[in-house]
Each structure stands twice: as structure tokens, then as C-alpha cells.
Chains A and B, each alone.
Chain A
């Protein structure tokens, strides 16, 4: 379990020393990805998965994507096995590809989007401060909860409190996760209170500019959209059916 928590931390943590994506562009693309997950079109799911993988390769988030996949390995195996057994390989593909797109896409979004910049950008669009801080705090707090949980898990494991197989340590791990969420939330509330969050309209100390990375990412997604439209125009390509 410790490896899962460590991988979630690695896979979802913003990397300040690497590329940055304009937060609004990142947000738009992640929403687009979710939009494409809704229709049950196998080829578009395959294309989307390839694009998400390609994007992670181009923008060098291979490690982050692999971390997330590694952390979710037990879930992938169970989910894949069950859907294959009860629904055949097409259902298995549809479920797993959605799952993978979500995980890898989110990893890319988390590692390349500065949460504070996301907040600033949304506030500039006149979205309420209290609303926009929710995704930003989520981006800050999720890796931290994973780290807290990992530290607690390791300490308790060395104490011999967590032993045995999957079914024995899973409830304890969930308890640790819940405790970490409560612990973090309590202090986060105190911190926001003393840092004056929400007392008035905020200013922003930094401006966020579009970079060539943003432009190239936009290009990838325009290409994907174009392909999608072209394929749809010439009729759905049933790759798998």
C-alpha cells in the first residue's frame, strides 16, 4: 500500500522545475477529455488514449503517468478482470480506456498546472474566490494527504500494526486515509482563516502568460479535434466491432 501512496504523491504533485501549462488551457483540455469520454465510440476512445499518452511523452510526464498507473495497478487488474469476465473484451476496453485516460490525463494536469495560477486565472474570469479555491486546494491537498498517509502507514508498518494480505491492510489503510483527510482539512481551515482568505476580493502578485508549450499543446488538441471531425464526417470507423 505504501508504494501506492508514494506513487499517487509522485504522479499528482506539481513539478515546479519543469514545464508549465497555462492553467485555463489545462482546465479546458481536461474538460474536453471528459467530454470525449461520454460517447461509447471505441475508436475515439482509442484515439483519445493515444493522444493522452502522446501528450505525456511530448511534455515529459512519463514518470508521473507511470507512477499513477503503477499505483492503480491492483484496481486496473480487478476492474479489467471483472469487466472481461462479465462483459467481454469490448466492455473491458471501454471501461479500462476511460479509466486510463482519466488517470493519465489527471496526472498530466496535476503535474503541469500550478494550483495557485489556476485560482488566479479563474478569478480573473470573475468566478467567485471561494469556488475557485476548491480545485486549487484539491490540487494542493491531494498529494499532501497521500504523503501524510504514506508516513503514517510506514510508521505503523514498522510497529507491526499493518500485516498480512490485501484484506487485512486495506481497512487500516482506508482508516489512515480518512484520518489524514480530517487532519489536513482541520488545519487547512485554520490556515485559511489566519491568512485572511475570503475577507475581500483578492489581488494577484503574478501574471500568467501563454508559452510556446501552451501553443504546442493547443496544436495537439486542435489536431485531435480535426481528426475526430474528419472521421465522423466520413462515417464512424469501427476499429473494434
Chain B
């Protein structure tokens, strides 16, 4: 049905190929996940499939893309729209209307579908994606996760046989991640060909039929997720797949891991059955951020988004913010930055009362969700040279983070993950004491997350405060503190180990796969296990009890 033959793509100003002899055959009803490290060519492939390349982005293309024996490049627009549904990496960039229902109806109106039919489709898609509460909301006021669901609604409302999703999970919370993957499976089962380009593979691979791995523009693996996931080990594997329970085929389901590891956990020595919770790091006498009874809303007509927030964050502490989409994470970050003015309450940064950005700008550096807004072009090197004047220091910094080969690339030629990584690396070089990062993991592979983790460690060692909001629970396990926001209030606050283990009982969220695994083990085998938060800890433990 879909045939990609010897597809090579080279951006006109680049020397190397972004995609090199890519061959894919796919049929209706398949759910394919395409993974790979940042900059491996995933977005380029998505853009070619969508014919954004060469229609909007100039690049040289060789090879064939055929759908039902018809070349995609030769299709007229009406056929193209009926064939393809697309969820872009930044859904907010692709909106044309003000209201959610209008955004979904727009494409149907353009296809001249009758009003009754449009309204029926609108209702059914809104029910399917559970977005009834968003129907009359303004697009500009949706959280990124909510927007992601609206973008998916737009993509599937035309019942296009081919659905392409560029990082559909990057901006959604973990519970929505599970829901979305089930939904994509259902869509595929209805006969659509679903192709998702994704980094967060924990749940999506459980439901996928095929995993294609790209590296440096080439397909290095194509097959059943269970059989090929091993290749992702050094790129971006699902947490549960790296458990050393079984030497046979890889594990993708938590339940399966519990079954296979159960025997190993049943003979744990008494001494190992202890909790490994730790005290929260940071000097309690050195408060870098203090929020006193903060209430925030966008205007007097709307409900409070943040309610009675009392919070003290300490110097030398790394803090994670977690919450379902629209819970107020990004809003809280903007309040701390002085961007959002509060309805009531007071903010102190390093004991200085802050009422606006004018006062906060000497204390805070903010990397927003859209990393494009942070970097000043034309290249990452140029951006960093505005802070660090010494070229040798810049070179050694990028050498440490293994980014030297990309530092002189034009910003718009970098992938989303690469751009974000540069924004994060550069942000940590500023003199400000408080570093705030919104959604740092979007587009980042395992290596990128490792670099981020090292930067955080080195910053906190220099007594800086790092605050991050993310939907990816994996990033929180190395932090000193985790705060969960629900309905605009602080719901949980403490050591990430403790908080992640309380998450499912006390909030609408679910923790990372390893925490789910340990909890399931405890429940099924009536055990009391240490609070493991990552696979390294579990594997080490398993080795010790074997």
C-alpha cells in the first residue's frame, strides 16, 4: 500500500544526506513507530511523507514514495488531504481557527462536506478523544497536551487512510500517553496506516506492530518491536525493556516483566527489604525561591489556575514539576520568572520581593517549551558567544557535551531535539542563580537526557537552583525534589522516590514504568521492596539477589 523506495533527501545548504536510501513497505491497519536518536532524520521523513518537502522546505529528493501505486508527489491537493492526516511536532503552529470546534471543522468545510455530516463527525471525534470540555475553548489558551489532542482530532476527522504523527506523546502526561497509544491502536485496527515518529517509547511500543529505527538517515532496523527494541539500548529504549529478568526476547509489558522477574524477587533476603528514601537536598536556610500564598488567573473572568501556592525552593536544589496537562505547571514557572503577574500573594527570589520581570531578570533564566524562542541565531555557537567571549571555552564546553559537530550548523537546520539540547546547554552557562526549563525532554534521546542530568548536577553543585516542568516522569528520578500540581494546588512534594510511589494513589498521574513494575511486584507477591526508580537500580538489585 505505502511503498518508499530508495528515498534520499539532502537539504540544499547541507553537505550530508538527511535521509539515505530509505526503503519502507507498509500496509493498511499497521501501526508503525519510527524511532532513533535526535537528528537521525525522523522529522525529515515525516516532512517528505507529508510533502512539506519539497513544497515548503527546499531539499533535493531522490527515490519514490507511492501510495496505492500512485506517487505522493504527483497527487493533487484534494487527494493529498483525503489521503494524509498529520499531527505536527508543534500543533500550535498549524492552527488556523480560534475555537477548537472550528479548527476541527475547518478541513471538513474545505472538503465541502454537508453541515449535518460535519456536525456528526465533529461530535463523534470529540467523544472519541474525550475533548468535549475543550469544544468551545480558544486554541491559544489550551495547554500543549490539550492542543496535541485537538491536532489528533484534526488529523483523523477526514478518515484519511494514512495518519502521520510527529512526536505525538512528547507533550502529554503519562496517563494520556497510555490513552493515546490505545487510541492509535484502535485507529490502526479500523484500517488506517498509522506512522508515529517518537522518542518516548514506554507505552507506544506495547501497541505497535512494527518498530523502524533510523540512525544518521538510514534504517538500521525494521521489525517486530519485541525483536528489534534491543537495538535501541543505547539510543532510547523503553524503561521496562532494559530489565535483566530474561535473556530471551525483550519485555515490553509491565505485567510480563512481573511474571518473568517474580521468581527472582521471591527469595529476597530480609536485609534487602528496606526503603531507600532520602532526605531532600538543599540548604533550608538558603531559600532561593519563596512563594507566599500565590493565586493566579489570566483575568478576573476566569477561574484561578494556581491556588494558594506556598513553596520554598532552596539553593543547590533540583526540582521537578509534574501534573496532568493544563494543571498549571508552565503557569507556575512563568509566575516564578516574574512573567505572569499574580492575583494575590508574594514572590521572593533570593530574598528580594519580585513583582515583575524587571526585578526577576537578574535572578532567573528561562528556557521555554519552544526552544526556538530562546536561541539567538544564526548558530548555537553564535548564541553562546554572546555569553562566553572566549572561543576556547565554548569549544571545550561543546566538546564535553559532544556537540562540536553541530555547533556551527544553522539553527533552522537542527532537529527539534538538537535545538533543545543547545538551548539547555547554553542556558546553564548564564550567571543567573535560578534556571527554569519548561519541557526539557521534548525531542531529547537518552544521550540528551544524560547531558541534561549532568548539567543539573554540576549546576546544583555550584549552588544554583534548577526547576523543570515535564510530562516525562523518567527525568525526575535523578532530581532532589518532585512537586506534583493538581487542580492548581500542590498535591505532593518531596523526594522523587517517595512522590513517584504515591503518584497513582494520590493523583491522576501514573509514574514511570519501573515504579509501576515495583508496585505491581509488591502487590502480586506481597513484598515490600526498596523504592527503585530506574532500571539500573533494579538490575543491580537483581544481580545481588541472584
User: Which of A's residues lie within 8 Å of B, judged by CB?
Assistant: 2, 10, 13-14, 16-17, 63, 114-116, 137, 139-140, 143-144, 147, 151-152, 154-161, 186-207
Contact = CB atoms under 8 A, between A and B. Distances in A.
Contacts of A140: 96-98
Given A13-B138, A154-B339, A157-B357, A196 B97 contact: no
B93 interface: yes
Given A157-B357, A157-B361, A190-B52, 6 more contacts: A158-B360, A192-B96, A194-B50, A194-B86, A200-B78, A203-B118
Given A2-B357, A140-B98, A196 B138 contact: no
Interface string B286-318: 000000000000011100000000000000000
A63 B366 contact: no
16 contacts: A10-B299, A16-B99, A137-B96, A144-B140, A154-B337, A158-B360, A158-B365, A191-B95, A194-B81, A195-B96, A195-B107, A199-B81, A203-B118, A205-B108, A205-B119, A206-B105
A155 B78 contact: no
Interface string B363-376: 01111101001101
Q: Kindly name the residue among A188, A204, A205 whose own CB sees the greatest number of chain B CB atoms within 10 A.
A: A205
A190 B94 contact: yes
- The 3 A-B pairs of least Cβ separation, nearest first, read A196-B110, A205-B118, A187-B93
Contacts of B361: 157-158, 160
Contacts of A193: 55-56, 77
B113 interface: yes
Contacts, number: 136
Interface string B94-124: 1111110010011111111111001100100
B190 interface: no
Indicate the size class of the contact surface on chain B.
Answer: 35 or more
Residue among A16, A139, A144 with the highest chain B CB neighbour number at 10 A: A16
A117 to B, nearest CB: 9
A151 B112 contact: no
A193 B47 CA distance: 14
Given A116-B98, A158-B361, A199 B368 contact: no
A114 B138 CA distance: 11
A168 B271 CA distance: 66
A16 B95 CA distance: 17
A116 B99 contact: yes
Contacts of A158: 337, 339, 357, 360-361, 364-366, 432
A156 B430 CA distance: 13
B138 A16 contact: yes
B365 A197 contact: no
A160 B115 CA distance: 52
Given A16-B137, A196-B107, A151 B368 contact: yes
Interface string B399-440: 000000000000000000000000000000010100000000
Nearest to B76: A199
A180 B201 CA distance: 33
A197 B80 CA distance: 12
B54 to A, nearest CB: 13
Contacts of A198: 110
A189 B81 CA distance: 15
B278 interface: no
Interface string B134-159: 00111010000000000000100000
Given A140-B96, A158-B364, A206 B50 contact: no
B94 A187 contact: yes
A205 B110 CA distance: 11
Nearest to A201: B112
A161 B105 CA distance: 41
Given A63-B299, A160-B361, A203-B114, A191 B119 contact: no
Contacts of B81: 194-196, 199
A203 B115 contact: yes
A76 to B, nearest CB: 22
Contacts of B137: 16
A152 B391 CA distance: 27
Given A195-B106, A205-B109, A205-B115, A159 B430 contact: yes
A160 B363 CA distance: 11
A160 B429 CA distance: 13
Q: Of B77, B138, B339, which is in contact with the most chain A CB atoms at under 10 Å from its CB? A: B339
B373 A196 contact: no
A196 B140 contact: no
